[in-house]
């Protein structure tokens, strides 16, 4: 590399540095005020980020064109703002071999298509097999883009290596012979260079710079060029060579934002190493005294090294003129040490009122946002002069926090009672939002591409149809989706558009069930014909009767599925990028064009983006359209950046609290700066690859994403004027275990620890640290949030009125419960019953009594509390099953019973079940149906011998008034002579016995003159010690009859037992009663084993979430130790569970008993 001689004077190149942006802006404003001779000459200013550009515009407007000094009524006009990289592009464009219409063939987007074409011409290079072979699922375009990014990086950071490759020398970044494993790179580059047909920027730049120095090159730049707020050295040594050449005949002003001007001068004074310098030499580290400058300030240190060692660069002029003063608080002590490049001296005494540095340890992301909200309210309350637009919240992972920020800040603002500082309503402005948040249609396109490249699983298709633009396009409502979910489940759709599409995954075309086409056929046929569930329609399709009332919905879903089928068929072909873009544009119009204006605008924007992608897919200097054939995986990778949703147009300084990532506003001064989510991994950088020849031999000045992130954090903290607030996850949100601090947070805490005087260091005086680090409770409804003196403040912490009300209610209830008397109830869910209106109802539905007897504890939640416990969503498997689960066995078995009872031939029933796809395909389904048929045959023999009619639809109306005026209303199914009948294809369970007894009680109390019976036929109980594939036990026939014989006694006994059931029902509406399936054993005097309640190897009663919510992880033996409380049913047992068991089951057994049924021999 050529360098200007050391004695050459750069009279027009000026470097100025300051430790904050305002002095730099003031100096720039003074220079711009000196207008050029031609008033229409445009100024050119490069800034490193969009936020700095917006801030600089506002700052310059205070002085430029102002009516008088200090008027702040100026105007900023005729200034072109750009990024530093465009400086080199302007020089390259000054003498370009290509036209403006054709564009730069060496731009990374265009270069990708040239590399892709080069990969197709594998015969031109010997190491072609290295890249031409792809693993399954890999993308050729993705590989070409990866290589193009490498070549583009080399052009910017290792131009001398590219020039050597042009000459045919295969060298690495240091000029040494290249390893054989990397020989493919220069070979592929030369083939790509031939395809492009134009010299690359490393080839052109040396001559361009020479012409620039002699003023022989006309560059489209004004006489004055400024680079403002530069924090690193973009392009490293190459950038210095560019500005030195540009400074020969133009005024070039470079404004450097330095963490420490003192450190810069120390490095410039003592650093004298020839360039380039390998990064592993760690040059000038010894000049940095402050630990955070050493750890977080690598880019600034390397920039100082480059400036001090590049020949002829003028000395940097410092604009920091304010003399250091005695810091008034911890923040300014830290900032002062950093800027003075002084190691912490352990000499600062922290005052109790000092809240200039706050660290908040929270449980997870949501609590961090909630705590940050309250911390900002406290900051505003502490200083009435502070406004919301003077607050910056920097979040390294903003996209992850954005939904939480919107929810938390938009719903707050109510005043908490019993708190003097109610706090203002906070307004959040998320500056650099992702385009996926601005354009929801991007989510739709991403989901569509994933869908057509997948298996069309049932859940995947329904979730796609639920997306806003798609549901609007097909006019689907929430109610429609409820129906669709039921249809998908009932028609047994698993995956695949149809049998043909499913062949790709090795499924024979003869298996047509469980596809979307199979389900759709059932729905469409169900619209046209009536379904008896026992016959097939045309084409061997089983019609689905529940779709007949919604033909329009079926039609719209059918249209969507047909569009998806055609799109998937087209997407299975190899096509050029232009053909792919046409296909995607048509798909976007088909699926996303809705009636809403906003959706129409979003679609138009997406179509424009797709058109631009197609137009940019050209090769060479003559911009010929790419003819390379691409697969769907290539298109997915091509659209990756678009679908990822890069940051949209930023929006800063709009009168609200600004939320941004670390980069856009680095160095911009704010009175309060908060860092949200400073957790491990927040500043993580993408891993480098072994193919990158530049990183293999990294130099001082090369970009380092990890170091950039750390320096951004340093600049954000230095920009705070009054207060720094940091939140992080200090404890696991699920386990409550403490989590390790992020490395950067640990370094900051070590620095603070080294700054405080000895008697305030951690481990010696916890009071000092309590002013800095606050550990917050897991829940926002915790009473500590609203108790004065807690959480490091003399006042209460929280401002959320709803959370405060919850905390007060919880405390009031606990106080009431503790004073209610009645012994120790600490092991119970409720110590005092509630009193809902439902418990006092005089009319009780028979269906409600059945629900209560099925699960008294669940009844309390659904009817007493009127809530449903949140349970983990069961993910429906899209895979083919090889067996039938218990629920499906129950449904199919019941259908077979109905079919057999109606005289339907077994073969017809089999065809219907196979056509519906309710059983596994192939021999698995045949085996399952054979087993069910044997069981049902045994049921039919019992039915015949017991003289019951399962086909009966007769129901006996019940309208009974008990002696206490409670009225029970409902109906009972009658399928047995003088009695009720329930046939269930499920195992024996105690609630079945209770329901049969309830039927018998109601029938007897209504008509005591009839000798009623209650019959329940169910599957037999398996021996727990039997083997897995042992034969099914014979059916179990339960027949209950009243124990009394004369009518008056029967009626009195029935009413007495019904009174007990109603009493339990009313009690169970007020509290979760200890009544379980195992209560039947307790009533008999037996003690169930703990494994009958909770078992690690099988799902038993106590494993249900409802019981875990009420009783926790208690074993059954522990539940028996809960004492009876006053007001419980009378009895000798001290165990509450035993007393209720004997109360309920005692009433049942007293009224009825099981008769000896006719012996059945299957």
Condensed to tens digits (0 to 9), the pLDDT of residues 396-449 reads 998 889 889 988 886 444 443 434 444 568 888 888 766 666 678 888 999 999
Can you tell me the mean pLDDT for 528-551? 70
pLDDT at 1142 over 70: yes
Three-state secondary structure string covering 766-807: HHHHHCCEEECCCCCCCHHHHCCCCCCCCCCCCCCHHHHHHH
pLDDT of residue 412: 41
- In sign, the C-alpha dihedral spanning 106, 110, 111, 115 is negative
Does the fold of domain 436-618 match that of domain 13-92+209-322? Answer: no
Condensed to tens digits (0 to 9), the pLDDT of residues 5-20 reads 333 444 589 999 999 9
Q: Which of 168-172, 248-252, 599-603, 1113-1117 has the lowest mean pLDDT?
A: 599-603
447: Cα separation from own chain's centroid:
15
Helices (runs of H) and strands (runs of E) counted in the chain: 44, 22
What distances in angstroms separate CA 1060 from CA 833, 851, 964, 995, 1057, one per listed residue?
Answer: 18, 16, 12, 14, 5
Condensed to tens digits (0 to 9), the pLDDT of residues 810-833 reads 777 665 544 444 433 445 677 678
Q: How is the chain split among helix, strand and coil, in percent rounded to 5?
A: 45, 10, 40
pLDDT at 884 over 80: no
State the fold for domain 13-92+209-322. Answer: Rossmann fold (3.40.50)
pLDDT of residue 415: 44
Q: Which of 93-107, 569-583, 628-642, 1037-1051 has the lowest mean pLDDT?
A: 93-107
Q: Strands 13-18 and 251-257, how do they pair?
A: parallel
pLDDT at 169 over 90: yes
Q: Where are the beta strands (DSSP E) in 620-772?
A: 624-625, 657-660, 670-675, 720-731
Candidate ranges 260-274, 531-545, 709-723, 1097-1111; pick with highest mean pLDDT: 709-723
- In sign, the C-alpha dihedral spanning 649, 654, 658, 664 is positive
Condensed to tens digits (0 to 9), the pLDDT of residues 930-947 reads 888 888 888 888 888 888
pLDDT at 1162 over 70: no
pLDDT of residue 328: 87
Backbone phi, psi, residue 190, to 5° = -65, -40
Report d(CA 494, CA 512) in Å as an integer. 11
Domain spans in the chain, listed from the N-terminal domain onward: 13-92+209-322, 105-193, 352-433+649-686+712-780, 436-618, 884-922
Specify the 3-state DSSP secondary structure of 175: coil
**DSSP string covering 1109-1126, please?**
HHHTT--HHHHTTSBP-T
843, containing H or E segment: strand 843-845
- The token duo for 531 is 């379904």
* Contact call for residues 416 and 781 (beta carbons, < 8 A): no
Backbone phi, psi, residue 33, to 5° = -65, -25
- The token duo for 214 is 């002699």
634, containing H or E segment: helix 632-638
* Contact call for residues 725 and 358 (beta carbons, < 8 A): yes
Q: Which of 1023, 1050, 1053, 1021 is nearest to 1035 (CA)?
A: 1021
State the fold for domain 352-433+649-686+712-780. Answer: Rossmann fold (3.40.50)
pLDDT of residue 130: 62
**DSSP string covering 235-257, please?**
TTHHHHHHHHHHTTTSEEEEEEE
pLDDT of residue 7: 37
Q: CATH for 436-618, among 3.30.43.10, 1.10.486.10, 1.10.1740.10, 1.10.2020.10?
A: 1.10.486.10
- The token duo for 809 is 């209610």
Given this structure, which CATH class describes domain 105-193? mainly alpha
| Burial grade of 652 (CB within 10 A; 0-12, 13-18, 19 or more) | buried
Q: Which of 354, 432, 296 is nearest to 714 (CA)?
A: 296
What count of other Cβ atoms lies within 10 Å of the Cβ of residue 886? 10
Q: Where are the beta strands (DSSP E) in 963-1054?
A: 967-973, 979-983, 1013-1018, 1036-1042
Q: Is the peptide bond before 276 cis (omega within 30 degrees of 0)?
A: yes
Can you tell me the mean pLDDT for 187-215? 92
What's the predicted TM-score (pTM) here? Answer: 0.79
Counting Cα atoms < 13 Å in the Cβ hemisphere of 488 gives 25
């Amino acid at each position: 590399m050529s360098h200007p001689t050391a004695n050459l004077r750069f009279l027009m190149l000026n470097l100025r540095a300051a430790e904050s942006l305002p002095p730099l802006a003031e100096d720039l404003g003074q220079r711009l005020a000196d207008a050029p001779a031609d008033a229409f000459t445009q100024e050119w200013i490069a800034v490193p980020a969009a936020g700095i550009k917006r801030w600089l515009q506002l700052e310059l407007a205070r002085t430029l064109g102002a009516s008088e000094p200090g008027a702040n009524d100026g105007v900023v006009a005729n200034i072109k703002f750009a990024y530093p990289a465009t400086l080199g592009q302007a020089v390259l464009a000054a003498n370009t071999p290509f036209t403006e219409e054709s564009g730069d063939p060496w731009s990374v987007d265009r270069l990708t298509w040239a590399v892709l074409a080069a990969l197709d011409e594998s015969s031109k290079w010997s190491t072609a097999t290295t890249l031409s072979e792809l693993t399954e699922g890999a993308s050729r375009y993705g590989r070409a883009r990866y290589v193009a990014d490498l070549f583009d990086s080399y052009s910017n950071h290792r131009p001398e290596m590219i020039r050597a490759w042009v000459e045919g020398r295969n060298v690495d970044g240091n000029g040494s012979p290249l390893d054989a494993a990397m020989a493919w790179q220069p070979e592929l580059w030369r083939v790509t260079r031939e395809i492009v047909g134009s010299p690359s920027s490393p080839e052109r730049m040396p001559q361009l710079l020479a012409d620039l120095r002699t003023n022989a090159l006309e560059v489209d730049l004004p006489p004055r060029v400024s680079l403002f707020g530069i924090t690193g050295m973009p392009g490293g040594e190459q950038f210095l060579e560019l500005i030195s050449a540009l400074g020969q005949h133009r005024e070039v002003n470079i404004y450097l934002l330095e963490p420490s001007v003192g450190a810069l001068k120390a490095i410039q004074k003592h650093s004298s190493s020839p360039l380039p310098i390998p990064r592993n030499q760690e040059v000038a580290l010894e000049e940095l005294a402050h630990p955070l400058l050493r750890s977080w300030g690598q880019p600034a240190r390397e920039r100082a090294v480059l400036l001090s060692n590049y020949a002829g660069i003028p000395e940097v002029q410092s604009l920091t003129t304010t003399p250091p003063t005695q810091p008034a608080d911890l923040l300014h002590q830290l900032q002062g040490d950093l800027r003075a490049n002084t190691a912490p001296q352990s000499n600062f005494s922290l005052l109790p009122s000092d809240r200039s540095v706050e660290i908040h340890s929270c449980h997870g992301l949501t609590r961090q946002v909630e705590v940050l909200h309250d911390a900002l309210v406290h900051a505003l309350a502490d200083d009435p002069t502070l406004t919301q637009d003077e607050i910056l919240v920097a979040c390294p992972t903003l996209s992850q926090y954005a939904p939480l920020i919107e929810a938390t800040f938009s719903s707050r603002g109510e005043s908490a009672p019993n708190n003097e500082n109610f706090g203002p309503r906070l307004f959040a402005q998320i500056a650099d939002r992702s385009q996926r948040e601005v354009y929801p249609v991007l989510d739709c396109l991403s989901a569509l591409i994933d869908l057509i490249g997948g298996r069309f699983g049932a859940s995947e298709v329904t979730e796609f149809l639920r997306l806003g633009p798609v549901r609007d396009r097909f006019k689907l409502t929430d109610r429609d989706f409820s129906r669709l979910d039921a249809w998908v489940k009932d028609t047994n759709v698993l995956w695949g558009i149809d049998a043909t599409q499913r062949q790709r995954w090795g499924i024979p075309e003869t298996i047509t069930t469980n596809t979307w086409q199979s389900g759709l056929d059932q729905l469409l046929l169900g619209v046209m014909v009536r379904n008896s569930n026992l016959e097939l329609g045309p084409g061997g399709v089983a019609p689905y009767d529940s779709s007949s009332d919604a033909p329009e919905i079926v039609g719209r879903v059918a249209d969507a599925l047909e569009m998806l089928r055609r799109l998937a068929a087209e997407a299975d072909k190899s096509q050029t990028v232009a053909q792919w873009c046409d296909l995607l544009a048509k798909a976007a119009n088909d699926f996303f064009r809705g009636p809403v204006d906003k959706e129409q605008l979003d679609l138009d924007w997406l179509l424009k983006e797709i058109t631009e992608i197609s137009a940019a897919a050209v090769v060479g200097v003559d911009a010929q359209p790419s003819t390379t054939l691409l697969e769907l995986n290539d298109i997915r990778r091509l659209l990756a950046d678009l679908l990822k949703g890069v940051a949209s147009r930023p929006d800063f300084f709009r009168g609200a609290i600004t939320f941004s990532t670390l980069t856009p506003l680095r160095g911009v001064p704010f009175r309060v700066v908060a860092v949200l989510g400073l957790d491990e991994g927040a500043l993580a950088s993408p891993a480098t690859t072994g193919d990158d020849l530049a990183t293999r031999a990294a130099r001082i000045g090369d970009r380092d994403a990890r170091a950039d992130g750390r320096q951004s954090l340093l600049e954000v903290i230095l920009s705070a004027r009054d207060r720094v607030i940091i939140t992080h996850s200090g404890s696991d949100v699920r386990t409550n275990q403490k989590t390790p601090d992020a490395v950067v947070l640990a370094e900051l805490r070590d620095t603070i620890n080294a700054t405080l005087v000895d008697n305030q260091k951690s481990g010696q005086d916890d009071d000092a640290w309590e002013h800095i680090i606050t550990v917050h409770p897991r829940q926002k409804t915790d009473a500590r949030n609203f108790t004065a003196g807690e959480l490091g403040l003399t006042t209460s912490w929280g401002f959320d009125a709803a959370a405060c009300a919850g905390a007060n209610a919880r405390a009031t209830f606990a106080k009431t419960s503790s004073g209610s008397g009645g012994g120790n109830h600490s092991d119970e869910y409720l110590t005092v019953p509630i009193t809902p209106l439902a418990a006092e109802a005089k009319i009780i539905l028979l269906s409600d009594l059945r629900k209560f007897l099925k699960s008294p504890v669940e009844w309390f939640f659904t009817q007493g509390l009127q809530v449903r416990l949140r349970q983990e969503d069961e993910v429906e498997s899209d895979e083919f099953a090889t067996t039938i689960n218990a629920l499906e066995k129950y449904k199919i078995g019941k259908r077979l019973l109905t079919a057999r009872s109606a005289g339907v031939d077994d073969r017809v029933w089999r065809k219907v079940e196979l056509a519906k796809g309710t059983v596994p395909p192939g021999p698995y389904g045949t085996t399952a149906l054979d087993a069910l048929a044997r069981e049902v045959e045994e049921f039919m023999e019992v039915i015949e011998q017991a003289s019951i009619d399962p086909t009966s639809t007769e129901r006996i109306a019940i309208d009974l008034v008990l002696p206490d005026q409670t009225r029970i209303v409902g109906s009972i199914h009658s399928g047995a002579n003088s009695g009720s009948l329930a046939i269930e294809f499920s195992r024996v369970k105690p609630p079945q016995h209770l329901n049969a007894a309830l039927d018998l009680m109601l029938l007897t109390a209504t008509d005591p003159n009839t000798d009623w019976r209650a019959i329940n036929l169910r599957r037999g109980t398996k021996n727990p010690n039997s083997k897995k594939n042992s034969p099914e036990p014979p059916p179990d026939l339960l027949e209950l009859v009243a124990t009394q014989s004369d009518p008056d006694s029967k009626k009195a006994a029935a009413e007495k037992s019904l009174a007990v059931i109603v009493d339990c029902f009313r009690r169970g509406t007020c509290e979760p009663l200890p009544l379980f399936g195992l209560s039947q054993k307790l009533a008999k005097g037996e003690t169930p084993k703990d494994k009958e309640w909770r078992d690690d190897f099988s799902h038993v009663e106590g494993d249900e979430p409802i019981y875990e919510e009420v009783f926790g992880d208690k074993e059954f033996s522990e539940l028996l130790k809960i004492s009876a409380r006053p007001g419980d049913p009378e009895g000798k047992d001290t165990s509450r569970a035993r007393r209720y068991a004997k109360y309920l089951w005692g009433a049942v057994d007293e009224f009825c008993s099981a008769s000896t049924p006719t012996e059945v021999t299957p």
